[in-house]
Structure 1
Amino acid sequence: MTLFDHQTWRQWQKIANLIIILILSTIFLSSCGFNPSANNQSRLVQAILSDPKTFNAVLSQESPNIFGLTYEGLVSENPLTGEIQPALAKSWTISDDKLTIIFTLKDDLKWSDGEPLTVDDVVFSYNQLYLNEEIPSNARDSLRIGQSRAFPIVEKVNNSQVKFTIPEPFAPFLESAGLSILPKHILAEKVTTKGADGKPIFLSFWGVDTPPDELVVNGRYKLKNYATAQRVIFTKNPHYWQKDEQGNSLPYIEEVVWEIVESTDTSIVQFRSGSLDSISVSPEYFSLLKREENRGDFTIFNGGAAYGITFLSFNLNQGSRNGQPLVDPVKSKWFNNVNFRRSIAYAINRERMINNIYRGLGEAQNSPISVQSPFYDPTVISYDYNPELAKELLLKEGFKYNSENILLDAENNQVRFTLLTNAGNRIRESLGSQIKQDLSLIGITVDFTPIAFNVLVDKLSNSLDWDAHIIGFTGGNEPNGGANLWFPDGNLHLFNQKPQPGRPPIQGRIIADWEAKIGDLYIEGARELDIEKRKEIYAKTQQLAQEYLPLIYLVNPYSLGAVRNRIEGVEYSALGGAFWNIERLKITDN
């Protein structure tokens, strides 16, 4: 053994530390899949909180998903104007009776594998995928028309035109043509071929274990690489149809990287360190980031009230599966008592949420329709914080308090339930923690449990094993986009879910009168073409939703996003965010 004097030891220690740093840097860069010498002007780096659940656009039920980058439909919505604009279709004509629409496709469309994209792909996507009862799809509910719940008839006219025919006028008709078009030459056999369980093998096709080069898309980007719990990398689709005014192929940005981070805190750290190009700004970090705009060379955009809804919901399903109640009958009796739900609404201090969690950057939410939508009803019922009224409602329904101010029901059962949300979403975790505190003030014990997002989705849609949850849905200008939430047989009717295709049946499921009424009003609103009359119809849906509270709305935050100034062409909006026109954005040196 050789001995070193103290000075020599310190010199060797410095060298060793440098070696360790170099090794760790190499490992980091390697794990990122990044080449340090790569041109950063061609790469956009963003963050998402959880892994994609599927690469099959028809089966997708959650966000984040890859399909906004990888697929397009016949039309799209301009988030700045709300207007429907051409995408794969270059034009369309609507018949005088409003029952037929003929789309004409753009010329020379191709899939990412170079195969032609044709009218046959459009007809296949609608008839064999979205309208196929054997394939569960959230899109199907938005295609149902009128009281008969009939679907449109989709037919090929010729090699460039496709015709949609409906049984009665349908106001959101044009918007429904925005569904992703998928490749018939890849998927047709997967739909017709049945597995050992008798179901189409399409249901297990294009899962997240699919090699990226096997995914065939028509959007701006195609999948290049996916590493679980690490990142998703997209690369420019060489066969994408859009070109700029000079005839250059779009998009300009060659690669898009989604870093999968464990929490919003981690994404903030990464953005501040410069490793992310953009981030959704949560209210808790707004002040910090605002002070750093100049130093960090980025801009915070404010699009006003965000689209979408954030809510607490109880499991109102009174049915049983395999002889076992989906919800503990004791709890089910509480949850299905409308005054119990109203007491919860009054007991939640939303102003405290706005001030403490949202840092003043939000407003109380009272409607399932986004406040920026022309169909939003500003007169809808609100539930201002009033814990004493909450207690009165509970006592009126036979609940009582013991000597320790713990709430009991009429049979002396302690009122206690489990509240779920997706782990890693700091805002929702904070909302759940506050709700736990607020409800303790009226004697209710809440077991707040954040869980992995994919596990939560499975509980809500498949096992139906849950008491209450906090979750959010995206939104838009057209109310019919939320039809699958409000139709009793809708695929996202989470508070009283029907069994999904392939799942065991449910016995004894009950549809409340108000629940059926809201569904009927959504049918009526979609068939009405007069805009003012449509507003009146959807106002009724909002009033019923607030009167019976299947969803207890929380806070509508402002839509805030931070984007590096080296990204040119950003036109921020609450509906589309910063990257709705990503194909025309450029990354340049400042």
Structure 2
Amino acid sequence: MLKNLDSKSRIVSLVMLVLSLALILTACGGSSNPPQKQADSKFGGNLISTELGDPKTFNPIMAQETSSSNIFEGYIFESLITVNGKTTELEPGLAKSWSANDDGTVWTFKLRKDVKWNDGEEFSAEDVIFTYNVIYDEDIPTSTRDVLTIGGQKIKVEKVDKYTVKMTLPQPFAPFLRQQPPIIPKHKLYQAWQNGEFKEKWGIDTDPAKIVGTGPFIIANYKPGERIVMEGNPHYWQETESGKKYPYVKRWVREIVDSTETQVLKFEQQKVDFILVPNKDYRRLKKKSEQENNKYQLVNAGPTFSSNFVVFNMNPRNPELDKKPWKLDWFTNLHFRRAVAHAVDRETITEQVFAGLATPQWSPVSKPNQQFLNEDVQKYHYDLDKARAELKEGGFSWNEQEQLVGPNGHRVEFNFVTNAGNKDREAMLNIIANDLTALGMKIHTTPIEFNKMVKQLTSEWNYDAILIGFTGSIEPNVGANV
């Protein structure tokens, strides 16, 4: 991450503001003891950052993409339990403590009594129960339901009193605490849910004043394609030792840009205060950051839980299948997918795309996740000869022009897309496509708008292959529905 050091009137103390953002994410929620109040620092100032593309929704139950959840997760909406961003331990959030019976099937959560929604209404057990009721409603298309369904059964959520909730699991379930959903306000959304209108609530055309959460920020203004303006929630419950309410930042402007190149340009022009450094710019910006009197600082935050991966369309509901049904035969062929795995040149991608700052990932669990990482798994190293052998075993062959032909006699040709504006993924897409071409495939690479790509992937199903990323977390089960 890069941060400007002389943003002048916009920021009182950027270092403390950036630190305060970390505290917002980590100190709200290991032990079931309340978090320690933080010492006072400087309050005030504006923070300016960038987002790649517009959100798709402001409804946390409906969100399925990071373009949406990055805006509000932890900032507008909070969960009963949070994760310390540094230690990865569980910490109290909206619940000040929790306990379980001996076999871990009955959990009791004690809620905070000092929490209000940002419209001044009181937070209570009713909101928790309402949130789970919405999630378990089969008419609501939410990905959260999958990870909160245990052995095919729901969690029973009951109100003990105004500030106590009991949850009974159908069986012991280790991921339970790390999968607590964002809590939504019953007083604002219950009627819409009853009327069958919940799916339409809090879209991006909603008046920001109507979006109500318990988090440290409220959405003050949103202009599609331009910016999202967030301001401190005057009712936020967490405070410093002297009783000052978080957040430190008075106003947070999140400018919407079309590419990582624009992010870097705005940063170097000192129009934004921090960015995540694109890998292709790392060496250049690192050198500049070391120069005398330079005005920004490079911070190494360590490896992320994020991963990039290729997904093939194996969905029999693909509306395009009636035109080319043989594509489903290719993508569901295990040898075909093994061949593609051998055709991914991870070393070249690491060096050319990520400036050497990446690591191959051989399972759904990412490198920094020491709690669950298992290195003893099957590894598909880059080897085009092994890729050809897998294809041959899968019934594929090559014609006189060295074009790859499937078992059904059709040349292997398909579309391969990723999200436009993400230059790292666009570069990865081209590297992978070149090696697939070397195997005799005909690949059409097309970067498209991120939310359009997500829609194809999750609801329209009319794609061939997609290169996309998953932010991931410590708990692997949160990606079970992926």
Return the TM-score normalized by structure 1.
0.72
In the TM superposition, what are the counterparts of 1:510-549 in structure 2 within 5 Å? none
| Aligned mates of 1:475, 1:181 — CA distance in 2 | 20
Aligned ranges for residues 230-379 of structure 1 at < 5 Å? 230-294=226-290, 295-319=293-317, 325=321, 328-373=324-369, 374-379=371-376
| Bigger CA radius of gyration | 1
In the alignment, which residue of structure 2 is the partner of 1:43? 46
For 1:67, the aligned partner's letter is F
Distance in 1 (CA, whole Å) between partners of 2:338 and 2:219 is 46
Q: Any conservation in 2 of the 1:60–1:137 contact (CA below 8 Å)?
A: yes
Residue from 84, 88, 104 that aligns with 2:110 = 104
Residue pair 2:318, 2:462 contacting (<8 A) in 1 also: no
* Cα pair distance change 1:226/1:326, threshold 3 Å: farther
Task: Give the aligned partner of residue 423 of structure 2.
Answer: 426
C-alpha contact (below 8 Å) 2:321/2:327 kept by paired residues: no
* Superimposed CA distance per residue, residues 72-116 of structure 1 (whole angstroms, 9 cap, x where no aligned partner): 111101121121111111111212232111111112211111111
Which residue of 2 is the match for residue 117 of structure 1?
Answer: 123
Equivalent residue for 2:411, pick from 411, 414, 419: 414
1:83 maps to which residue? 89
Distance 1:340 1:242 in 2: 53
Residue type at the aligned position of 1:303: A
Secondary structure of 1:51's aligned partner: coil
Structure 2 counterpart SS, 1:47: strand
Q: Please point out which of 30, 52, 58 is paired with 2:55.
A: 52
> Deviation at 1:226?
0.6
User: Any conservation in 1 of the 2:318–2:460 contact (CA below 8 Å)?
Assistant: no
Query: 1:559-574 to 2 correspondence within 5 Å?
Result: none
Residues 220-277 of structure 1, C-alpha deviation per residue, up to 9 Å, x if partnerless?
A: 1000111111111100000000001111111111111111111000100111111111
SS of match in other structure, 1:419: strand
Partner SS state of residue 154, structure 2: coil
Kept in 1: contact 2:436–2:443 (CA 8 A):
yes
Distance 1:361 1:217 in 2: 37
Residue 181 of structure 1: aligned partner: 183
Q: 1:105 to 1:347 in 2, by over 3 A?
A: same
1:305: Cα distance to partner? 2.7
Q: Which amino acid aligns with 2:410?
A: N
- Unpaired runs of 5+ residues, structure 1, are 1-35, 194-199, 486-590
Q: Structure 2: how far apart are the matches of 1:116 and 1:339?
A: 57
1:452 to 449, 454, 461: 449
- In structure 2, relative to structure 1, the CA distance for the partners of 1:326 and 1:470 (3 Å cut) is farther
Contact in 2 for aligned 1:190/1:202 (Cα 8 Å): yes
Contact map agreement 1:327 1:466 (CA 8 A) in 2: no
2:480 alignment partner, SS class = helix
Amino acid at match of 1:254: K
Compute the displacement of 1:397 (Å): 2.8
Q: State the shift of 1:211 in Å.
A: 1.1
Match of 1:140 among 127, 142, 145: 145
Which residue pairs with 1:441 in the alignment?
Answer: 438
The percent of aligned pairs where both chains have the same amino acid is 38
Q: How far did 1:411 drift?
A: 4.2
Letter in 1 for 2:167: F
Opposite residue 83 of structure 1, the aligned amino acid is E
Partner of 1:565: none
State the shift of 1:302 in Å: 2.3
Partner of 2:396: 399
Q: Is the 8 A contact 1:319 1:326 kept in 2?
A: no
User: Aligned to 1:342, what secondary structure does the other structure show?
Assistant: helix
When you count helix as a share of all residues, which structure comes out higher? 1
Superimposed CA distance per residue, residues 433-464 of structure 1 (whole angstroms, 9 cap, x where no aligned partner): 11121111111111001111111111111110
Q: Are the structure 2 counterparts of residues 302 and 110 from structure 1 closer, same or farther at C-alpha, using a change threshold of 3 Å?
A: same
Work out the CA distance in 2 between the residues paired with 1:296 and 1:174.
Answer: 44
Alignment match of 1:469 (pick from 445, 457, 466): 466
Alignment TM-score, normalising by the size of structure 2: 0.88
Count of residues paired in the alignment:
438
- Native 8 Å contact 1:326 1:464 kept in 2: no
CA deviations 1:25-81 (Å, max 9, x no partner) are xxxxxxxxxxx9975431111111110000111100001222221011111011211
Other structure's SS at 1:191 match = helix
Alignment partner of 2:300: what SS? strand
Tell me what 1:206 maps to: 202
- Which residue identity is paired with 1:61? Q
- Give the Cα–Cα distance (whole angstroms) in 1 for the partners of residues 262 and 410 of structure 2: 42
